[in-house]
């Protein structure tokens, strides 16, 4: 796959790589001695078609003709097979048609003229790589093929045997080893693509060295660019040994001419020296030329060898054609498009078949229509000069026979056949007039296609899983022969010419382990999207059970704005586990029913063997299908190294995962790996399993069933199935805990059928290895901590101290914490943090021993306020009366100070535990004299008063101080509000839920209580309250009045509510404080919707907003209204649509939080307004359907649909 391109690059590099000390000069070498009766020859090639590689001497051709055999690194005759095994066929994509499940599952569309145009393209990258190695733009500097292929063809045409000196598997392994990252982090990166010699690039110097035959220079240049330290050892030297060993065996049978990359010849361990070490005499052959070499090359190129063509058939049996070898199907990564290739390397030609499904009957497009379309494009679509075009007929299907001549004077022939369901292009190409030879013409003369039929036929994918009947001429796209490990969703179609009926079946697999959709929606929406793409809409849809499986039957009709296609289309969509099938037909009545009712799910027919596979990264073994796992090829790169961290991290937690696949049945199994931190603990199996189960189920609101607890090899195991209402799908889940590692196995199944053989075998055989990765999570971690901190292993000490916050210390463990704090020899850089961690570790401990220790730390660190604040923070988490009394005692008797305000955040915990701080006041008001404490102390008092935790007597004694500070804060608030206004309304707007909050509001609450208690002298304060113009204050003041039992002024509330900017905020604040009875009763749901949209940035003088309508919507979870408005500003020409939803069914109720809004969807006329509303409603209806993609450019971006 990805490795194939990398391997090809390495092969090229090897042709330019390695010599030393001028011992090896020259590209052609004679091999004699060591018992040979006749000399053999060795030549250093370049794997390119550049003229440089063909700049050879007369002796090159003399030796090539003299030898009785040809030896190459590998024989071109096997390259198609080798390329497929390397994954080169599948390196350019996958069958994923986007992120939207519903759009990509059954994607089919009308064949456009540009697609037909591309069918005649005369470029094939793989054939070029195998046969020619042409580089675009360099045509005048290239020969008709590359040197290695020329050597092969010269031998093959003269009947010489061809030998491969290497095997693909061994080259793959050595290539992988060659890219092993370096062990040292710092590598010599002084080498550059520019070398110092005359400022020339390295590749230029390499070419110059090759032209001179200076192998030593090539050796030096190529070694300077090795990507890893071991590259030369494995990719050059070890391959040299393999090739020389095979040369030795062959040369004792007869003479050979060996062509291998020039890099393999020089050096102490190059082919030349290795042969000498074996006893051979190896000497350079004179490179002198008499000028005859060009003629000798042309003579060899002009030879033609007759090659036998034999019948080949496509896997669906639709096409039969004669080819010079196996006809390889190539993955096209396009549903409904197939390509087949067959090279003929001896004479340098190749043949291809390209098929394109047109879905013609759906669009009422006949073969004649597509033929006419191609005819109109023929002149510009055919490469080179059009030499001939004639009508042909194959098995009743019409077409064209076309001959063209390219700019390199090569003839290319096409036969293009048009059937009712597809266009088939047969192509033959080669050098010069190769294609007109007798044997190549057999490719065209023997073409056979399936004839028209009206019979019902049984159809099933290659490896089963389902079966059905189709009527007429059947063709299909299925998993590719020889590429059973490539993911592929099959598709079949048939056409009955007698009745003009078209039938289609597509499969799509989607093993979703995160979400289960209702089958009724899932299947119906798949049909809808399929129809939308073809120009249809749903006329009727019925969900039911078909042969034990959920299915939807639909009738589609043409959309009003679409014409020209079949008026009638019926669908059936079915599912089992992760498999989805869509059946469609233009037939109706009995034939449609026969088609739909014939469908049955069945077991997959897979005879692959199982073998034990070990994952050395996640530490488990499992029995799985042979060759199921990909080879672990390295990612090619330069400058890599092993990341050997000095710091031990094995004690930390971590997660990883791996997917296992059965490609033939298109199943997948997830293996999750969660290694717990060595100090993570759990109290019991029950609590541990309960947490894990709920975590998996609650995240997606699954239902848990079939729960079983068991034990396997001493490991606790929990198995269950996750399901959801309205679906037959289930997620089989198995959790296994092993030495501090939790393994999670999951696979999607049909809940009524259960697991397949593949998944059952996998689940049953899964076994963690004996490798000790983590620690038992049920052991006493505090005890482990103590043993390691005071043990002898220095690494254990370090890791334990780094893990203090992970340990759940209990009452019994206080002595361990105390001892560590007082006796451990801390690292200077870590001491502060680790002491803090030790203190905070007692936050949940409720013993006197802990309190005494914490008070002691506080008292003995009088000038370490940071540590004192940590103690206070720890006490605030403990939430006991003893702890909160300690906070009061320490704050009042030994107050710590800081400029870092965050240190006082422990007050946030006091706000939440007011009952424990009842005795703090009035004494704690003394702290308000300190600026850093004042806001917190006053807020604590105010909160306690409003929550009825504190009483008037808790602060009445501080009347004069409170009066004075209240007036100060009033003045400050009035002064600052003018500054805030200058910052703009956005600054004032804030969140729609954030309360009006400053120190003044807390003093206001205290002053209200003085007023409430009849203190007349407080009246002066309240006389100036009117100076505060912030409308948020009006609401907050009435909330305080309400909580203190004072009269609520509804006029103030109405004033704020009637302000568009504050309407939503006022509602939220009143709702939060259970005061909706005071909310302005005249406000309607429409008013609130308007306010949600326009509470900010709406100018009543410049903007116009008009209510359009409200629409009731069911989003799958709840019903509610969407409100639509149209809006225009002075600066805009057209109306814009704004909306908000959902609002409750009961129009007397409002929802202001968690609603969806959008503003600015531009429209130009009434029809666009209606369409925008229609699309918006659809979005709301699909909002909770997680597989439906509603974002992106599908329609709803700013600017609208149009």
Across the beta sheet with 610-615, the strand order is 610-615, 620-625, 767-768
Please give the C-alpha separations between residue 361 and each of 107, 365, 370, 432, in angstroms, as whole numbers. Answer: 17, 6, 12, 41
Counting Cβ atoms within 10 Å, is residue 438 exposed (0-12), middle (13-18) or buried (19+)? exposed
Contact 439, 484 (CB under 8 A): no
**Residue 1101, helix vs strand vs coil:** coil
Q: Are strands 257-261 and 70-72 parallel, antiparallel or unpaired?
A: parallel
Residues 596, 599, 603, CA angle at the centre, nearest 5°?
A: 165
pLDDT given for residue 185 in this prediction: 52
List average pLDDT for each run of 10 residues in the chain, which is 1202 residues long: 43 40 81 96 86 83 95 91 72 48 90 80 79 74 84 94 92 88 58 51 80 83 81 91 96 96 91 96 86 81 93 95 94 88 94 94 94 88 89 95 90 95 95 94 95 92 95 94 79 95 96 94 95 93 91 94 87 96 96 96 91 94 74 41 62 94 92 95 91 90 94 95 94 96 96 94 96 89 95 94 95 96 94 96 95 96 94 95 96 94 94 93 94 96 95 94 95 83 46 88 96 93 93 96 96 95 96 96 96 87 91 91 93 90 95 93 90 92 88 43 42
CA-CA-CA-CA torsion sign (720, 726, 729, 731): negative
Q: 102-135 burial string, b = 16+ CB within 10 Å, else e?
A: bbbbbbbebbeeeebeebbeeebebbeebbbbbe
CA-CA-CA-CA torsion sign (944, 949, 951, 953): negative
Q: Which two tokens stand for residue 1178?
A: 């659809």
Q: 868-897 burial string, b = 16+ CB within 10 Å, else e?
A: bbbbbbbbbebbeeebbbbbbebbeeeebe
Q: Are strands 70-72 and 162-164 parallel, antiparallel or unpaired?
A: parallel
Bridge partners of 1158? 1139
Q: What length does the chain have?
A: 1202
Helices and strands per DSSP (H, E), number in the chain: 38, 39
- CA–CA gap between residue 571 and residue 582 (Å, rounded): 7
pLDDT given for residue 1032 in this prediction: 94
Q: Identify the residue whose tokens are 């693909």.
A: 168
Q: Are strands 40-45 and 257-261 parallel, antiparallel or unpaired?
A: parallel
Contact 989, 955 (CB under 8 A): no
Residue 335, CA atoms < 13 Å, CB-side half-sphere: 24
Counting Cβ atoms within 10 Å, is residue 197 exposed (0-12), middle (13-18) or buried (19+)? exposed
* DSSP one-letter code for 754: B
Of 259, 247, 86, nearest in space to 173 by CA: 86
Pure H helices in 158-289: 168-178, 202-212, 215-223, 231, 239-251, 271-277
Contact 75, 163 (CB under 8 A): yes
DSSP letters for 870-918: HHHHHHHHH-SHHHHHHHHHHHHHS----S-GGGGGGHHHHHTTGGGGG
- CA–CA gap between residue 529 and residue 83 (Å, rounded): 38
- CA–CA gap between residue 966 and residue 90 (Å, rounded): 76
**What is the helix (H) or strand (E) element at residue 506, kind and residue range?**
strand 501-509
CA-CA-CA-CA torsion sign (171, 172, 173, 176): positive
**What are the φ/ψ torsions at residue 545 (nearest 5 degrees)?**
-110, 130
- CA–CA gap between residue 189 and residue 961 (Å, rounded): 73
Helices 814-823 and 831-840 cross at an angle (nearest 10°) of 160
Of 163, 123, 175, 124, nearest in space to 4 by CA: 175
- CA–CA gap between residue 793 and residue 801 (Å, rounded): 13
Contact 213, 272 (CB under 8 A): no
pLDDT given for residue 985 in this prediction: 44
CA-CA-CA-CA torsion sign (1140, 1143, 1148, 1153): negative
Please give the C-alpha separations between residue 960 and each of 919, 923, 929, 974, in angstroms, as whole numbers. Answer: 21, 15, 14, 21
pLDDT given for residue 359 in this prediction: 94
**What are the φ/ψ torsions at residue 379 (nearest 5 degrees)?**
-60, -45
- CA–CA gap between residue 593 and residue 285 (Å, rounded): 79
Q: Identify the residue whose tokens are 């090159």.
A: 60
Q: Are strands 610-615 and 579-585 parallel, antiparallel or unpaired?
A: unpaired
- CA–CA gap between residue 739 and residue 505 (Å, rounded): 49
Helices 848-859 and 881-893 cross at an angle (nearest 10°) of 10
Q: What is the CA radius of gyration of the chain?
A: 41
The set of long-range contacts for 996-1001, using a CB threshold of 8 Å and a minimum separation of 24, is 996/1030, 996/1032, 996/1033, 996/1035, 996/1036, 998/969, 998/973, 999/934, 999/935, 999/938, 999/939, 999/969, 1000/966, 1000/969, 1000/970, 1000/972, 1000/973, 1001/942, 1001/1033, 1001/1036, 1001/1040
Residues 1155, 1160, 1166, CA angle at the centre, nearest 5°?
A: 105
Cβ neighbours for 158, distance < 8 A, ≥ 6 positions apart:
65, 303
- CA–CA gap between residue 620 and residue 428 (Å, rounded): 51
Cβ neighbours for 741, distance < 8 A, ≥ 6 positions apart:
619, 673, 674, 675, 676, 768, 773, 774
Residues 342, 348, 350, CA angle at the centre, nearest 5°?
A: 25
Q: 988-1013 burial string, b = 16+ CB within 10 Å, else e?
A: ebeebeebbebbbbbbbbbbbbbbee
Bridge partners of 730? 749
Residue 541, CA atoms < 13 Å, CB-side half-sphere: 16
- CA–CA gap between residue 761 and residue 705 (Å, rounded): 21
Q: Which two tokens stand for residue 426?
A: 């047969």
Please give the C-alpha separations between residue 157 and each of 256, 260, 346, 347, in angstroms, as whole numbers. Answer: 15, 20, 7, 8
Q: Label residue 464 left, alpha or beta by phi (over 0 means left) and psi (-120 to 50 means alpha).
A: left
**What is the helix (H) or strand (E) element at residue 370, kind and residue range?**
helix 367-381
**What are the φ/ψ torsions at residue 329 (nearest 5 degrees)?**
-80, 135
């Amino acid at each position: 796959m990805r490795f194939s391109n990398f391997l090809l690059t390495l092969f090229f590099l090897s042709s330019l790589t390695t010599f030393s000390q001028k011992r090896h000069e020259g590209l052609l070498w004679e091999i004699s001695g060591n018992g040979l009766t006749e000399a053999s020859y060795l030549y250093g090639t370049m794997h390119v078609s550049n003229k440089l590689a063909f700049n050879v001497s007369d002796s090159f051709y003399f030796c090539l003709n003299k030898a009785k055999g040809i030896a190459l690194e590998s024989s071109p005759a096997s390259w198609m097979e080798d390329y497929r095994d390397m994954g080169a066929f599948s390196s350019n994509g996958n069958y994923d048609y986007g992120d939207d499940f519903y759009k990509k599952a059954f994607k089919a569309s009308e064949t456009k003229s540009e697609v037909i145009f591309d069918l005649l393209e005369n470029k094939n990258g793989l054939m070029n790589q195998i046969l020619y190695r042409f580089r675009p733009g360099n045509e005048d500097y290239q020969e008709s093929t590359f040197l290695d292929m020329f050597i092969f063809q010269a031998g093959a045409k003269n009947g010489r045997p061809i030998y491969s000196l290497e095997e693909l598997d061994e080259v793959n392994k050595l290539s992988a080893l060659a890219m092993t990252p370096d062990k040292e982090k710092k590598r010599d990166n002084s080498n550059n693509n520019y070398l110092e010699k005359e400022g020339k690039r390295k590749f230029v110097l390499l070419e110059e060295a090759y032209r001179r035959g200076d192998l030593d220079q090539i050796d030096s240049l190529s070694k300077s660019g090795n990507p890893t330290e071991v590259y030369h050892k494995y990719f050059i030297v070890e391959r040299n040994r393999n090739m020389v060993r095979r040369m030795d065996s062959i040369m004792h049978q007869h003479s050979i001419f060996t062509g291998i990359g020039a890099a393999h010849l020089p050096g102490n361990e190059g082919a030349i020296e290795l042969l000498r070490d074996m006893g051979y005499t190896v000497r350079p052959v004179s490179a002198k030329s008499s000028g005859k070499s060009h003629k000798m090359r042309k003579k060899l190129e002009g030879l033609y060898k007759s090659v036998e063509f034999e019948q080949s058939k496509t896997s669906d049996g639709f096409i039969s054609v004669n080819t010079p070898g196996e006809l390889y199907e190539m993955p096209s990564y396009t549903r409904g498009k197939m390509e087949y290739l067959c090279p003929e390397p001896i004479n340098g030609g190749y043949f291809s078949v390209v098929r394109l499904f047109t879905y013609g009957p759906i669009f009422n497009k006949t073969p004649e229509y597509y033929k006419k379309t191609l005819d109109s494009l023929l002149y510009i679509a055919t490469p080179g000069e059009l030499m001939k075009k004639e009508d042909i007929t194959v098995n009743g299907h019409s077409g064209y026979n076309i001959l063209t001549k390219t700019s390199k004077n090569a003839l290319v022939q096409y036969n293009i056949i048009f059937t009712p369901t597809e266009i088939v292009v047969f192509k033959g190409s080669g050098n010069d007039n190769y294609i007109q030879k007798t044997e190549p013409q057999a490719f065209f003369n023997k073409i056979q296609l399936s004839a028209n039929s009206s019979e019902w036929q049984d159809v099933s994918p290659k490896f089963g899983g389902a079966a059905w009947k189709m009527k007429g001429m059947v063709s299909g796209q299925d998993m590719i022969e020889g590429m059973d490990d490539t993911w592929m969703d099959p598709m079949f179609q048939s056409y009955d010419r007698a009745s003009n009926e078209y039938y289609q079946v597509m499969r799509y697999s989607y093993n979703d382990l995160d979400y289960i959709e209702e089958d009724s929606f899932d299947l119906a929406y798949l049909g809808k999207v399929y129809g939308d793409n073809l120009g249809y809409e749903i006329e009727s849809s019925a969900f039911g059970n078909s042969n034990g499986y959920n299915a939807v039957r639909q009738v589609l009709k043409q959309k009003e704005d679409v014409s020209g296609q079949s008026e009638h289309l019926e669908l059936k969509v079915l599912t089992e586990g992760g498999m989805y099938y869509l059946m469609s037909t233009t037939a109706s009545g009995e034939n449609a029913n026969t088609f739909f009712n014939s469908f049955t799910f069945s077991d997959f027919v897979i005879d692959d063997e199982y073998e034990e596979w070990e994952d050395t990264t996640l530490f488990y073994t499992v029995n799985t299908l042979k060759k199921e796992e990909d080879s672990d090829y390295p990612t090619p790169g330069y400058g890599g190294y092993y990341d050997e961290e000095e710091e031990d991290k094995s004690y930390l937690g971590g997660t990883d995962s791996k997917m296992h696949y059965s490609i033939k049945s298109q199943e997948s199994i997830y293996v999750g790996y969660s290694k717990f931190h060595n100090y993570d603990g759990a109290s019991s199996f029950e609590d541990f399993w309960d947490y894990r189960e709920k975590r998996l189920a609650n995240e997606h609101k699954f239902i848990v069933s079939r729960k079983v607890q068991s034990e396997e090899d001493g490991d606790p195991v929990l198995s269950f199935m996750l399901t959801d209402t309205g679906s037959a799908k289930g997620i089989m889940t198995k959790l296994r805990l092993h030495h501090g590692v939790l393994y999670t196995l999951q696979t999607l199944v049909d809940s009524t059928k259960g697991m397949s053989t593949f998944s059952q075998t996998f689940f049953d055989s899964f076994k963690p290895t004996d490798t000790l990765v983590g620690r038992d999570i049920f052991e006493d971690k505090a005890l482990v901590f103590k043993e390691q901190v005071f043990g002898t292993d220095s690494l254990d000490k370090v890791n334990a101290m780094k893990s203090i916050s992970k340990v759940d210390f209990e009452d019994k463990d206080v002595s361990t914490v105390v001892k560590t704090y007082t006796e451990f020899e801390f690292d200077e850089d870590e001491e502060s943090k680790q002491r803090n961690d030790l203190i905070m570790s007692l936050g949940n401990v409720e013993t006197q021993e802990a309190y005494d220790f914490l008070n002691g730390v506080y008292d003995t660190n009088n000038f370490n306020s940071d540590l004192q604040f940590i103690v206070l923070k720890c006490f605030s988490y403990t939430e006991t009366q003893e702890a909160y009394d300690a906070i009061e005692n320490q704050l009042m008797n030994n107050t710590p100070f800081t400029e870092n305000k965050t240190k006082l955040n422990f007050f946030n915990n006091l706000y939440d535990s007011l009952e424990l701080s009842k005795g703090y006041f009035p004494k704690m008001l003394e702290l308000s004299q300190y600026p850093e404490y004042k806001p917190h102390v006053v807020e604590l008092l105010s909160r306690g008063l409003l929550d009825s935790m504190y009483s008037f007597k808790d602060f009445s004694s501080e009347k004069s101080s409170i009066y004075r500070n209240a007036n100060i804060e009033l003045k400050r608030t009035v002064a600052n509000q003018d500054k805030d206004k200058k910052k703009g309304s956005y600054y004032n707007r804030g969140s729609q839920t954030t309360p009006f909050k400053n120190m003044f509001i807390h003093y206001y609450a205290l002053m209200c209580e003085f007023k409430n208690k009849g203190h007349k002298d407080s009246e002066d304060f309240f006389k100036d309250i009117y100076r505060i113009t912030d409308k948020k204050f009006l609401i907050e003041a009435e909330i305080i009045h309400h909580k203190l039992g004072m009269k609520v002024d509804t006029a103030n509330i109405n004033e704020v509510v009637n302000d568009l900017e504050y309407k939503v905020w006022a509602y939220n604040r009143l709702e939060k404080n259970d005061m909706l009875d005071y909310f302005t009763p005249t406000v309607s749901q429409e008013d609130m919707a308007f306010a949600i949209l326009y509470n900010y940035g709406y100018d009543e003088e410049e903007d116009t907003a008009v209510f359009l309508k409200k629409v009731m919507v069911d989003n799958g979870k709840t019903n509610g209204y969407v409100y639509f408005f149209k809006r225009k500003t002075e600066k805009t020409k057209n109306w814009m649509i704004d909306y908000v939803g959902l609002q409750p069914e009961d129009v007397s109720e409002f929802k202001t939080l968690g609603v969806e809004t959008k503003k600015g969807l531009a429209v130009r006329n009434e029809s666009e307004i209606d369409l925008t509303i229609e699309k918006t409603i659809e979005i709301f209806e699909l909002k909770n359907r997680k597989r439906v993609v509603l974002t992106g450019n599908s329609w709803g971006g700013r600017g609208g649909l149009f």
